[in-house]
Amino acid sequence: MTGDIVVEAVGLGYDYVSPPVCALRGVSFELRRGAFLAVMGPNGSGKSTLVRAVLGLLRPTRGSIRVAGREAWEYRREIQRIIGYVPQHDSVNQHLPMCPRDIVGLAASTRGVGRGGHGNLTARVNDALAMVGMADLAHRPFGSLSGGQQQRVLVARALVVDPHLLLMDEPFAGVDVVHRNELVELLAWLSREKHVTVMAVVHNINPLAHFVDHVLLLDNRMVAFGTPGETLTPELLAEAYGAEVPVLVCDDGVLHPITDHAADH
């Protein structure tokens, strides 16, 4: 690994072939160990495409994306072992005939967590479910859980492998305000105390605005990468969203863009 750099994109671009879509271009940024990044942009701006590129699921059309110093596409099997991934909720099968304990346990055992013995694995699974407040519903069928509860199970599944990089595509979709704030605190703790690098795609950055180190603004190209103070400006947000985005400044001097209504332009 080059120093402590966990993710490094250099001139990253991706075009889908069928149908032909230029989804991303000119994306360059780096994340050090323990960094906390929010990725923002309107629908179709390339956020999930970037997530797939970090996972090594697609081969960049231009430039490169490296995870822990390795080309993501070429070394996808190796890098996926150090990534905890929370997919965009609608891409998950709602009717999985499994309960949260099994879903999280399967992820742990396929990644070799808890090889020390069965007790160890069970404890890890229970811890991960407790971290997202799902211990009480661990035996309910996944399909019978609410959308927000399912989302929290997916976060537990990503956490159980003790990832170096936590990659989340809209992890708060459908999660109520109390559990969302708990999840945000958990992510902030993981990045600060455990030095997990966290990359979260969000439509509404406000719950995270006080905690993230960096923001990446996308609109099928990199509009901006920098601190929240550098990036969450009305000018750059208007460039990304193609619409005026009001920005409020809270008592702590943190910028809070009101992007909810601008997200579907």
Ligand X SMILES: Nc1ncnc2c1ncn2[C@@H]1O[C@H](COP(=O)(O)OP(=O)(O)OP(=O)(O)O)[C@@H](O)[C@H]1O
Closest approach of Mg ion to the CB of residue 227, in Å: 24
Closest approach of Mg ion to the CB of residue 14, in Å: 13
Q: Does 49 bind ligand X (CB under 6 A)?
A: yes
Q: Which of 4, 16, 258, 261 binds ligand X (CB under 6 A)?
A: 16
Note whether 113 and 161 are within 8 A (CB): yes
Which residues in the 84-143 window bind Mg ion by CB under 5 A?
88
Q: Which of 5, 26, 30, 48 binds ligand X (CB under 6 A)?
A: 48
Determine the Cα–Cα distance for residues 49 and 44; give it in Å rounded to an integer.
9
Closest approach of ligand X to the CB of residue 171, in Å: 13
Q: Which of 48, 61, 126, 206 binds Mg ion (CB under 5 A)?
A: 48
Alpha carbon dihedral 68, 70, 74, 80, in 10-degree steps, equals: -10
Q: Which does 189 bind (CB under 5 to 8 A by kind): Mg ion, ligand X, none?
A: none
Q: Which of 27, 36, 45, 159 binds ligand X (CB under 6 A)?
A: 45
Residue at token pair 């929290």: 152
Alpha carbon dihedral 215, 188, 57, 51, in 10-degree steps, equals: -30
Closest to ligand X by CB, 61 vs 109, is 61
Determine the Cα–Cα distance for residues 198 and 190; give it in Å rounded to an integer.
8
Determine the Cα–Cα distance for residues 195 and 82; give it in Å rounded to an integer.
13
Pairing between β-strand 70-71 and β-strand 214-218 as defined by DSSP bridges = unpaired
Q: Which stretch binds ligand X (CB under 6 A): 14-22, 66-74, 235-243, 250-258?
A: 14-22
Q: Does 173 bind ligand X (CB under 6 A)?
A: no
Q: In terms of Cα–Cα distance, which of 92, 21, 51, 100 is closest to 202? A: 51
**Positions that interact with ligand X (CB under 6 A):** 16, 19, 21, 23, 41, 43-49, 88
